[in-house]
Structure formats: structure tokens, C-alpha cells
Amino acid sequence: MTAADNDVPVLVLFRNDLRLEDNQALLAAQRTGAPILCVYVHETEGGSAFRPLGGASRWWLHHSLAALSAAIANKGGALVLRSGRLVSAIEALIAETGARHVHATRRFDPAGRQADEELADALAASDIAFERHDGFLLHDPSSIRTSSDRHYSVFSPFARKLIPVIQDAQPEANDGPFHFFDPPQSDDLSTYGFLPTSPNWAAGFAPHWQPGEVGAQKSLERFLTDALDDYATGRDRPAVQGTSRLSPHLAFGEIGPRQVWRAIETVGPQKTGRDVTTFQREIVFREFAWQLLANRPEMTWDNIDGRFDRFPWDEDPNGAPLRAWRKGRTGYPIVDAGMRQLWQTGWMHNRVRMIVASFLTKHLMVHWKRGEEWFHDTLIDFDPANNAFNWQWTAGSGADAAPFFRIFAPVTQGRKFDSEGNYVRAFVPELAALPAKFIHAPWEAPDDVLSEAGVKLGSDYPRPMVDHSVARERALDAFKAMKGD
């Protein structure tokens, strides 16, 4: 399309790329010289893989779309909102505007791929171009293959092959010009019901987060300035701001991985090499998880290691053990602090995510799918690839998974990574007055210490719902039986 097609817009379909900078779909549309119509479709239905957004993701999406809308308005345009099935919404906009070209960022999740293929077929039948661009990942998951032309299922060789490919990744600034099409009718964002009201369980989110592209850049700058220097060790301490907190911004595409990678590479020479490479390894893990999902879409609902189909999981979606875990009432302070942090802020420290996942799948032997479902609903940074990969990794059923016998001891983990107990104090206030010596195992405290701290075990705070040693042996016995040992 050329500038001569002055009355015909090019559609830019935003979805997991809610930013203006380094947005290849938007930049490609700008290069045509035609007027641009910016669109977001809230997909409320789809194919067999369709999964509605979780509650916490909906909260973030509301504020991210508001931020994107304001950014586009600041450039002289408007973001048009529509809802329904993707193909129906886009066909309606094409009929209203006469558009003959649609640009979008490529998606790799099962539901997104299904919807995009349906859209591509419909648009091709009408001789309308649908161009999909890279940008959500640093690489196309189909491009990194083993010598036998298979996808990678082990991280280390994947990383060795990917890093040289992405080493020189360069984001592309968007300096305009912006030439927008007069927008048709748009839905009112508030009518989508993304924000909870009765009750407003997300009330605690806002003090911790700034959704949107500006917030993403602030998070990146804070990390580079305040946390990267000690990232290799600081990332494991949940009581400090030792992580990037970029995960929700990456999940919604408010910042692109090329922008993050290049920023790290730029400041790298001024930082400790181990801190830089440790963080870059986490970015590569994100790529690995998405490569797996693109090639194994069933990993969000099936065990990758089929032997675990025989494991005696508790699959009750409303069982008492699962309910206690969700509420942060297991009797293990580090587990309960993590689950309450999740509920209060929509996010949980990564070290603690591993601890609570290990506890659910191995101490309680509840199926990892129940945990995956809870995280899907309660995480603001929900990412289908990372979420499924990490749950299966911890449970032992995934690709390149942790050995099943690696069962985190909650007390040991708490004392090692929250030695002063400040993380527990922040989210389990009923234990705040306990000395550090006992805060991760209050049942070990003498009666006078409990009394002085105002703690009544069994009423103010629960006793451990399972004994660690007993639960560990039970899980290992079940694993041996599953293997046929």
C-alpha cells in the first residue's frame, strides 16, 4: 500500500504488544504511508484452545489499554476497541473502513494461533493482506532446531544455539511520523468489566504497579540502576527488590525483549559479569518456554513426561488441601507469605513461586494443573508458556524438569532466603513479633516466646497441615511406585 491510498486505512491489530516503541507491526504500517487505524479486540470466544483471561490479568489489561490509548491520543490518533470473536470483529471493521491490509504481532500460544489462522483464512478469501511480525520473542520458535530437525527439550543446548542468534538484537525506535485514520465507533473500555468491584480484591495492586509502556520503562531503569548489580544473589531474596519486576510488562508487550536485551548489553560492561549473564539466562529461559509451547501446545494441560499420568495426584478442584494453600493457611510461613503476596499484589517472588509449587505438588500431592489454574487467575504477569513450563518443571513432569526427589523443605528455604523473616513479617503479620529464629517454624518456639509475640498456634495461625518428613517420604514412595521400582 502506498500514500496514494489516502482514504484507505491500514489496520494495526494490537494484542500482546501494547507499546509504540519497537513495535514491528506498527512500524510496518507507518512505512506504507497510509493512514493507520489502531485496533484492540477483546477476544471473548475462540477455538478449542480458547481460555478467558484470569482476573488479575484483566485488571492489568484495563490499565494497559488505558495507557496505550492515551499514548496514541498524544500522537493524534485513537485506539478503537471491539470485542467478540477475532475474525468477526476484524471483518466488521474492514466493512466499515474499507481497509485492505492488517498488521499484527505474531502469537505463539495455542488459542492465539488458532484465532490468527482463522483470521488469516477469512482475510485471504477476501483478498485482504494479513501480515504478522516478530516482536513478542527474540526468536521465531520454529527457527531453532536440533541437528535432527526437532525442537529442543533441554535448556542448555537450546541456550548455546540461541544466544549467538540474538546477541546483536537491536530494538527500533518509533520517531514517527504518525498519520491516523478517522476512527469508527469504539467500545467503552469500562464496559468490559475488567476491574473488580464487589469486592475489589485488586485494591492492593495499584501501589505496587504502573501498567503501560511508561511504567515498563521505569521498571527497566529502576532495575538497571538499583538491582542488576546484585542480581545473581539478590534475585533469591524475597524481602528485597532484587528482581526486575518486568514480567507483567513483557507478558503484555509493554516492553519488548529486544529492548530489554539491548539495555542489559549496553550497561553490561559497567556491571558484574555474573549478574548480567544470570539475568540474560532468565530471558533465554522465557524463549525456551515459548519454544516448547509452540511445539508442544498440550503442555498447558498434559504432562510432558507421560509417566506422570500414573502418579496419584489429588485432582479435586475444591479440596481442603488446595483451599488451604490458596488462602495461605498451610502452617508453613514462607509458603503462606507467598500465597498472600500473590493475593494482595497480583505477583509473587520467583524463588517463592518454586517453594509454593513444590509444596503443593509434593507435600500435598495436588496436581500441578490445579496450581497452574490458580496462577492463571491471580497473577498479573500470567504467561501461558512460563506458567506451564515452571509448574511442570517443579512437579517433575516437564521438559528438562527438576528431579522429583528435589523437594523443597519450606523451613530450610525460608531460613536460607529470608533469614531475618522480613518477607514473612510483611505478608503474615500475625507472626511479625516472633524473633527470626522461630519465624519460619513457629511451632518450635517455646510457649513463653509465642505468648510474648501474641501468637496462638491453631487459632491465630495454623499448625503445619503436614509434617515435612512424612510428606516427603509419601511423595517419594508414590514416585517410586509410578516408575515401577
Q: What is the pLDDT of residues 435-482, one digit of tens each?
A: 999 999 999 999 999 999 999 999 999 999 999 999 999 999 999 999
- Examine the domain organization and report whether 474 and 344 are in the same domain: yes
Cα separation of 399 and 405, whole Å? 16
> What CATH number is attached to the domain comprising 321?
1.10.579.10
- Residues 6 or more apart whose CB falls under 8 angstroms from that of 358 comprise 394, 406, 407, 408
Tell me the residue type at 166: I
Number of domains in the chain: 3
Whether residue 158 is annotated as binding a ligand: the answer is: no
Cβ neighbour number for residue 349 with a 10 Å cutoff: 24
Residue 230, pLDDT > 70, answer yes
Q: Would residue 195 count as lying in a domain?
A: no
> What CATH number is attached to the domain comprising 76?
3.40.50.620
- Examine the domain organization and report whether 87 and 159 are in the same domain: no
Distances from the Cα of 14 to the Cαs of 65, 91, 126, 171, 254, in angstroms? 10, 16, 21, 18, 11
pLDDT in tens, 320-353: 999 999 999 999 999 999 999 999 999 999 999 9
Cα separation of 268 and 121, whole Å? 45
- Examine the domain organization and report whether 269 and 344 are in the same domain: no
Among 295, 323, 343, the domain boundary falls at 295
Cα separation of 3 and 174, whole Å? 19
> What CATH number is attached to the domain comprising 263?
1.25.40.80
- Examine the domain organization and report whether 111 and 154 are in the same domain: no
Among 295, 319, 354, the domain boundary falls at 295
- Examine the domain organization and report whether 121 and 144 are in the same domain: no
- Examine the domain organization and report whether 222 and 276 are in the same domain: yes
- Rounded to 5 degrees, what angle do the CA atoms 379, 381, 385 make? 100
Q: For 375, which DSSP code? A: H
pLDDT for 133: 98
pLDDT for 298: 94
Strand (E) or helix (H) holding 80: strand 79-84
Residue with the larger pLDDT of the pair 401 and 59 = 59
pLDDT in tens, 49-98: 899 999 999 999 999 999 999 999 999 999 999 999 999 999 999 999 99
pLDDT in tens, 123-161: 999 999 999 999 999 999 999 999 999 999 999 999 999
Q: Would residue 130 count as lying in a domain?
A: yes
- Examine the domain organization and report whether 367 and 414 are in the same domain: yes
Whether the bond into 199 is cis, omega within 30 of 0: yes
Residue 1, pLDDT > 50, answer no
Q: Which position has the grid cell 485514520?
A: 181
Mean pLDDT along residues 384-394: 97
Whether residue 381 is annotated as binding a ligand: the answer is: yes
Specify whether the CB–CB gap between 314 and 466 falls below 8 A.
no
pLDDT for 2: 38
- Examine the domain organization and report whether 269 and 397 are in the same domain: no
Residue 6, pLDDT > 80, answer no
- Examine the domain organization and report whether 64 and 50 are in the same domain: yes
Q: Would residue 318 count as lying in a domain?
A: yes
Q: For 462, which DSSP code? A: P
pLDDT for 271: 67
Mean pLDDT of the chain: 96
Q: Would residue 177 count as lying in a domain?
A: no
pLDDT in tens, 237-287: 999 999 999 999 999 999 999 999 999 999 866 766 899 999 999 999 999
Q: Would residue 287 count as lying in a domain?
A: yes
Specify whether the CB–CB gap between 42 and 82 falls below 8 A.
yes
pLDDT for 169: 87
Q: Would residue 300 count as lying in a domain?
A: no
Cβ neighbour number for residue 143 with a 10 Å cutoff: 11
Whether residue 106 is annotated as binding a ligand: the answer is: no
Whether residue 53 is annotated as binding a ligand: the answer is: no
Q: What are phi and psi of 37, to 5 degrees?
A: -115, 115
pLDDT for 264: 93
Mean pLDDT along residues 290-299: 96
Whether residue 231 is annotated as binding a ligand: the answer is: yes
Q: Would residue 196 count as lying in a domain?
A: no
The fraction of the chain above a pLDDT of 90, given in percent, is 92
- Examine the domain organization and report whether 350 and 413 are in the same domain: yes
Whether residue 457 is annotated as binding a ligand: the answer is: no
404 pLDDT band, cuts 50/70/90, is: confident
Structural domain including 63 reads 10-136
- Examine the domain organization and report whether 290 and 145 are in the same domain: yes
Strands 10-14 and 101-105 turn out to be parallel
Strand (E) or helix (H) holding 129: strand 129-133
- Rounded to 5 degrees, what angle do the CA atoms 213, 218, 224 make? 125
168 pLDDT band, cuts 50/70/90, is: confident
pLDDT for 401: 84
Tell me the residue type at 412: T
Whether residue 272 is annotated as binding a ligand: the answer is: no
Whether residue 383 is annotated as binding a ligand: the answer is: yes
Tell me the residue type at 333: P
**pTM recorded for the entire structure:** 0.96
Q: Which residues pair with 41 in a beta bridge?
A: 82
- Examine the domain organization and report whether 417 and 311 are in the same domain: yes
Q: Would residue 235 count as lying in a domain?
A: yes
pLDDT for 3: 37
